[in-house]
Amino acid sequence: MLLVGTLLTALFIYLPMQLVKTEVNSKVFAQQPGTSGVLFTEYTLFSSQEVAKGACASRCLRNALCLSFTFTGVVQPGNCQGHSKIMTFSDVKVAEVGAQTYAVREAEEWWEKSCSTAADCGINAYVICRRNVCVCPPGHYVSEGLNQCVSDCPVSSLTPNFVQYHEAGIAGHNIVDVDGDAATCMEACVQSTSFYCLNFEYYLSETRCPLGDATEVNYPGIWIENDPGWILYQRNCQ
């Protein structure tokens, strides 16, 4: 009996560990075909209010059992529902305006990948090949959870990661100047409390960076495409 009890205890401890996703950043979500406008009523792990799809995706990634999520963003905050299986149209559901389900899959990190054309950057919409590097269009954010470019990112969904745009800059909207290397500038931007830091411009020859609170999407015309000696660091989104 002692041996059986020991084996059962070991099995109880061991099995859940197989479900833990140890490489959260290697997982992303893809839209499930045929699931627009429906809310599933089975296999629900959690239901919460989230400000964006990316935040809902991040919550699912943090749950070892979550294999898909449904987000309804008609009103803000939106409804986020996590599922313990990849939901399909054949599962039990009810109509829900604006709902869309996404399923987990392995990520193919395309941002800052070398390219000759946008086709080298994968199937993600809106990705461009700029100076032989895969990036989002000026002013857009990389959504790490959705693995695509998004035009808007709630402040609470900004991540501490950045994408570099070499020889690019932003006209105006420089709130604070920081002295130091790129790592120092990243930390200053992420930890800024006096304003919402969305990006910074790093001046290579002087090792300094103005921190900014605006993007080309919010303020069309501020993007500087050819700005020798500068690198624009744009924050990522969840």
Compute the average pLDDT of residues 205-229. Answer: 94
Contact 49, 78 (CB under 8 A): yes
The confidence score (pLDDT) of residue 17 equals 23
- Check residues 16 and 89 and name the one with the higher pLDDT: 89
pLDDT tens per residue across span 158-197: 999 999 999 999 998 999 999 999 999 999 999 999 999 9
**Helix or strand holding residue 145 (H, E):** none
Residues of the chain above pLDDT 90, percent: 53
Q: Which residue from 7, 29, 53 is spatially nearest to 150, judged by alpha carbons?
A: 53
The confidence score (pLDDT) of residue 106 equals 61
In order, the DSSP letters of 82-139 are: EESS---TTS-EEE-TTEEEEEEEE----TT-B-SSGGGG-S-TT-EEETTEEEPPTT
The confidence score (pLDDT) of residue 238 equals 85
Asked if pLDDT for residue 72 goes beyond 50, the answer is: yes
Model confidence at 103, in pLDDT bands (50, 70, 90)?
A: confident
The confidence score (pLDDT) of residue 19 equals 25
State how far the Cα of 181 lies from the Cα of 23, in Å rounded to an integer: 29
State how far the Cα of 71 lies from the Cα of 105, in Å rounded to an integer: 17
The confidence score (pLDDT) of residue 123 equals 58
pLDDT tens per residue across span 107-151: 566 788 899 998 888 756 688 999 999 999 999 999 887 778 889
Residues of the chain above pLDDT 70, percent: 85
* H helical segments located in the chain: 2-17, 53-62, 182-190
Asked if pLDDT for residue 224 goes beyond 90, the answer is: yes
* H helical segments located in 192-237: none
Asked if pLDDT for residue 222 goes beyond 60, the answer is: yes
The confidence score (pLDDT) of residue 22 equals 27
CB 85: neighbour CB atoms within 10 A? 15
Compute the average pLDDT of residues 208-230. Answer: 95
What is the CA 108 to chain-centroid distance, rounded? 13
User: Domains along the chain?
Assistant: 24-106 (3.50.4.10), 118-237 (3.50.4.10)
pLDDT tens per residue across span 6-29: 333 333 232 222 222 223 344 667
74-77 contacts, C-beta under 8 A, 24 or more apart = 74/98, 76/51, 77/49, 77/50, 77/51
Model confidence at 64, in pLDDT bands (50, 70, 90)?
A: confident
The confidence score (pLDDT) of residue 7 equals 35
**Cα atoms in the Cβ-side hemisphere of radius 13 Å centred on 87:** 31
